[in-house]
Amino acid sequence: MGETIAILFIFFVLILFGLVFYFQWQKSSFERQKVEVFSEQTISKSLLASFLPELICSKVGVPTKDCIDLEKLQIADEKMKEELVYYFDLLGFTTIRVERIYPLENENEWTLYDEKPAEVSRKISTPMPVSLFEPISGKYYFGVLYVETYT
């Protein structure tokens, strides 16, 4: 009789451990899915930003990879702030910055788009080295495109 009670007690304790473990595992599984979705969104936004027609260099209409046209950049800087609703639909909570590293000139930093949520629980910054092309002089500068995504 005593043995039976002990076995039943241990059995219910095991079931309890199993339930607690299952709920913890479900919770961490949801968290992991959130992080995976956020990572995928970060990749897609980074690619989108680096291939924006408003920024990318082109020769005879053919876009050049890893290159930003400085003339387009100056115009995009103003345009993206004017058309916030359109770009928010495209980019969501993101910051897009371009920084000129070498050789330096008078203006070396542009913040094209900057929308942060009221509370930032997670932030991922993806830096991408790019060429900054000055079409008038034909010079190429070394720069970095920063894409920061938030959740």
In this chain, which of 93, 110, 141, 150 binds other proteins, going by CB under 8 A? 141
Q: How many residues bind other proteins (CB under 8 A)?
A: 39
Q: Give 99's contacts (C-beta < 8 A, 6+ positions apart).
A: 108, 109, 110, 143, 144, 146
Q: Does 25 bind other proteins (CB under 8 A)?
A: yes
Which of 97, 143, 148, 150 contacts other proteins by CB under 8 A? 143
Contact, 51 vs 63, CB < 8 A?
A: yes
Token pair for residue 55? 């920024």
Q: Distance between CA atoms of 144 and 119, rounded to whole angstroms?
A: 27
**Which positions from 58 through 97 interact with other proteins, judged by CB under 8 A?**
65-67
d(CA 16, CA 113): 51
Q: Which one of 48, 92, 123, 144 is in contact with other proteins (CB under 8 A)? A: 144
User: Interface residues with other proteins (CB under 8 A)?
Assistant: 7, 10, 14, 17, 21, 24-25, 28-29, 32, 35-36, 38-40, 42-43, 46, 65-67, 101-103, 124, 126-131, 137-144
